[in-house]
């Protein structure tokens, strides 16, 4: 029967990972998949995660099922981290999911169940998995302008004009911080204007927050999510712990549904449980439990925050060094945007041909849309990348 299956395009980011591994050259630079790497190229297990795992190994006496929406203590802890009391807890339905991707998937399914004809407004560009999952679910998506190719910042006027076209029953998908793939973000004044449009149109915001703590700091990175979630009647938030806890493979995420009243919250909570049951029953627990232990223990939390802050500032340092080196080589400020961008990624803003040229000539692997993982750089490779960018005539 399976001969009827069609060929499926592989995810370009994951294909790039394999191509990098297969490249026999000694000097090569991996700026592909979005995982944090330290100066030696390793993605370490964070200290607080190790400590919590150790404690868990010693104290956990059962691995019996949790609940369909996971352990409520995890929901409480992550809601605290993301929203910090900005929204009353009794208005929030929540379900643990396999990673942030699982939260995104369940959010789309919740929207489709509620409104089969909902249109989802997505930034152009956005994380390719948003588009792929929406398309798989047969949901309509409407791109809104986001990246200004000239300044490499946000095309704010274009964005506002486009999301104004949303109607009640539509959803506007926003990146809470550290936009993937561009690295270009709204400031708080601009977020306020986006919120005004959401209130005017009656469209429901859905916020994907996968990099809290990677941009301007844990609180700063959540500020926009808190502003929006506390000001609209309904809002979906898909949060991932993959990056900020470094627990990628543990598949740890949470979907939050801010509901307009207690009845709606109950329906949302029951529907989230229903959706989890249809798709996988119980969500993974190991990563969620570690996150809960870390967030609820003063010492573990402080150590996690300190290490996350090192990760964040090291990426900021790399950004600045790259921007400085490019300024030196080009004699111009046209790469200053690299220091303004936030999070793991920056979109260089060049053609797939030039991306291929840098890969062929200098062993530099970035995604074809010219997205670079800044954490893939170090003091030795920054000059190599800067030289390649100038030699490619970018
Ligand atoms: N959303 C965005 C924008 C992402 O970049 C990612 C990937 O890191 C995710 C969600 C979810 O990742 P994960 O499923 O690994 O938690
Ligand atoms: O954009 C990235 O690189 C990360 C990791 O199917 C990722 O978000 C990439 C592809 C994918 C899932 C996660």
- pLDDT tens sequence across 47-81: 999 999 999 999 999 999 999 999 999 999 999 99
Give how many domains the chain has, as a whole number. 2
H helix and E strand count, the chain: 14, 11
In residues, how long is the chain? 394
Q: What is the pLDDT of residues 151-205, one digit of tens each?
A: 999 999 999 999 999 999 999 999 999 999 999 999 999 999 999 999 999 999 9
Q: What is the pLDDT of residue 11?
A: 87
Residue 279 makes CB contacts below 8 A (sequence gap 6+) with 105, 106, 109
Same-domain status, 158 and 174: yes
* Residue 55 is assigned to a structural domain of this protein: no
* 163, 83: one domain: yes
CA geometry: angle 335, 222, 367, nearest 5 deg: 40
| Co-location of 17 and 88 in the same domain | no
φ, ψ of residue 175 in degrees (nearest 5)? -90, 120
Residue 10 pLDDT more than 90?
no
- Letter string b/e over residues 366-378, b meaning 16 or more CB atoms within 10 A of that residue's CB: bbebbbbbbbbbb
d(CA 212, ligand 2 centre) in Å = 16
**Which residue bears the tokens 């509620």?**
114
114 and 31 within one domain = no
Residues 230 and 318 in one domain: no
Is 243 among the catalytic positions? yes
Q: What confidence score (pLDDT) does residue 12 get?
A: 87
Confirm if 214 and 244 have CB atoms less than 8 A apart.
yes
Token pair in block for residue 291: 């996150």
- pLDDT given at position 110: 98
- Of the chain, the percentage scoring pLDDT greater than 70 comes to 100
Q: And the tokens for 45?
A: 């297990």
Report whether 34 contacts 345 (CB < 8 A).
Answer: yes
Distance 129 CA to ligand 2 centre (A): 8
The CA distances from residue 291 to 123, 234, 251, 253, in Å, are 30, 26, 12, 10
Buried b or exposed e, range 206-218, using 16+ CB within 10 angstroms: bbbbbbbbbbbbb
**C-alpha–C-alpha distance, residues 4 and 160, integer Å:** 44
**35 CA from centroid of ligand 2 (Å):** 8
Residue 61 confidence (pLDDT): 97
Residue nearest atom 11 in ligand 1 by C-alpha distance: 100
Quote the pLDDT of residue 30: 96
Domain at 100, CATH number: 3.40.640.10
**From the CB of 34, is ligand 1 less than 6 Å away?**
yes
Whether residue 9 has pLDDT greater than 90 = no
Residues within a 6 A CB radius of ligand 2: 11, 13-14, 33-34, 127, 129, 180
Q: Assess contact for 198 and 365: CB atoms under 8 A.
A: no
- Burial class from Cβ neighbours inside 10 Å (0-12, 13-18, 19+) for residue 387 reads middle
**What CATH number is given to the structural domain containing 29?**
3.90.1150.10
Average pLDDT estimate for 215-228:
98
CB of 23 within 8 A of CB of 30? Answer: no
Mean pLDDT of all residues in 293-297: 98
Answer with the one of 271, 296, 321 that is the final residue of a domain. Answer: 296
Q: Is 127 assigned a catalytic role?
A: yes
Predicted local confidence at residue 164, as pLDDT: 98
Q: How far is the CA of 132 from the CAs of 10, 122, 139, 290, in angstroms? A: 11, 12, 10, 30
Instruction: Give the position, in ligand 1's atom list, of the atom nearest the Cα of 252.
Output: 16
**Residue 341 forms part of a structural domain:** yes
Flag whether pLDDT at 137 surpasses 90: yes
Say whether both 358 and 285 belong to one domain.
Answer: no
Instruction: State both tokens at 17.
Output: 């990972």
pLDDT at 392 over 90: yes
Contact 346, 374 (CB under 8 A): yes
Q: Give distance in angstroms: CA of 125 to centre of ligand 1.
A: 15
The domain boundary residue, chosen from 245, 277, 296: 296
- Residue 75 CA, ligand 2 centroid: distance in Å: 23
Q: Cα(366)–Cα(122) distance, rounded to whole angstroms? A: 23
Question: Would residue 337 count as lying in a domain?
Answer: yes
Shared domain for 167 and 261, answered yes or no, is: yes
Give mean pLDDT, residues 80-93. Answer: 98
In a domain, 60, yes or no: no
Q: Domain check: are 233 and 381 in the same one?
A: no
| Distance of alpha carbon 238 from alpha carbon 207, whole angstroms | 6
Ligand 1 site, residue 212, Cβ cutoff 6 A: no
Domain presence at residue 183: yes
* φ/ψ (deg, to 5) at 46: -65, 150
Residue at 201 is within a domain: yes
Catalytic residue (one of 75, 107, 166, 210): 210
Mean pLDDT (whole number) for 242-248 = 98
Give backbone dihedrals phi and psi of 358, rounded to 5 degrees, phi first: -65, -30
What are the residues whose beta carbons fall under 8 Å from the beta carbon of 207, sequence distance 6 or more? 173, 174, 175, 176, 224, 225, 228, 229, 235, 236, 237, 238
Angle of helix 188-201 versus helix 218-229 axis, rounded to 10: 20
Domain boundary among 279, 296, 313: 296
5, part of any domain: no
Contact 94, 272 (CB under 8 A): yes
Distance of CA 236 to the CA centre of its chain: 14
123 pocket-lining for ligand 1 (C-beta < 6 Å) = no
Q: Is residue 4 part of a domain?
A: no
In a shared domain, residues 18 and 131:
no
Q: Mean pLDDT across the chain, nearest whole number?
A: 97
Q: Which atom of ligand 1 has the smallest separation from the CA of 102?
A: 14
Query: Do 306 and 175 fall into the same domain?
Result: no
Q: Same domain, yes or no, for 243 and 310? A: no
Which ligand sits closest to the CA of 10?
Answer: 2
**Range of the structural domain that residue 153 is part of:** 65-296
Same domain assignment for residues 262 and 131: yes
């Amino acid at each position: 029967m399976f001969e009827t299956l069609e060929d499926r395009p592989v995810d370009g980011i994951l294909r790039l990972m394999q191509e990098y591994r297969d490249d026999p050259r000694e000097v090569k630079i991996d700026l592909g998949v979005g995982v944090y790497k330290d100066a030696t190229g390793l993605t370490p297990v964070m200290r607080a995660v190790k400590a919590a795992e150790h404690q868990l190994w010693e104290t956990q006496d059962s691995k019996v099922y949790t609940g369909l929406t996971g352990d409520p203590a995890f929901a409480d802890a992550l809601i605290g981290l993301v929203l910090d009391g900005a929204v009353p807890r009794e208005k929030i339905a929540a379900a643990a999911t396999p990673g942030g991707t699982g939260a995104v998937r369940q959010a789309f399914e919740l929207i489709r169940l509620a409104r089969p004809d909902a249109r989802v407004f997505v930034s152009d560009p956005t994380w390719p998995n948003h588009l792929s999952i929406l398309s798989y679910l047969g949901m309509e998506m409407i791109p809104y302008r986001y990246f200004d190719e000239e300044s490499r910042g946000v095309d704010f006027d274009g964005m506002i004009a486009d999301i104004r076209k949303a109607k009640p029953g539509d959803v506007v998908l926003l990146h809470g911080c550290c936009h993937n793939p561009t690295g270009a973000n709204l400031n708080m004044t601009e977020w306020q204007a986006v919120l005004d449009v959401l209130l005017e149109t009656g469209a429901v915001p859905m916020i994907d927050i996968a990099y809290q703590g990677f941009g301007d700091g844990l609180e700063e990175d959540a500020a926009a999510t808190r502003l929006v979630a506390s000001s609209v009647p309904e809002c979906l938030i898909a949060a991932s712990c993959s990056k900020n806890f470094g627990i990628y493979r543990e598949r740890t995420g949470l979907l939050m549904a801010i509901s307009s009243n207690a009845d709606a919250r109950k329906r949302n909570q029951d529907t989230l449980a229903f959706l989890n049951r249809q798709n996988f029953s119980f969500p993974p627990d190991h990563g969620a439990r570690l996150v809960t232990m870390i967030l609820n223990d003063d010492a573990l939390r402080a150590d996690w925050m300190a290490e996350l802050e090192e990760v964040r500032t090291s990426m900021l340092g790399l950004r600045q060094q790259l921007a400085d080196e490019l300024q030196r080589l080009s004699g111009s400020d046209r790469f200053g945007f690299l220091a303004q961008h936030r999070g793991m990624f920056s979109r260089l803003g060049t053609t797939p041909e030039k991306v291929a040229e840098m890969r062929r000539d200098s062993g530099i692997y970035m995604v074809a849309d010219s997205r670079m993982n800044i954490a893939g750089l170090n003091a030795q490779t920054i000059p190599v990348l800067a030289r390649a960018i100038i030699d490619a005539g970018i």
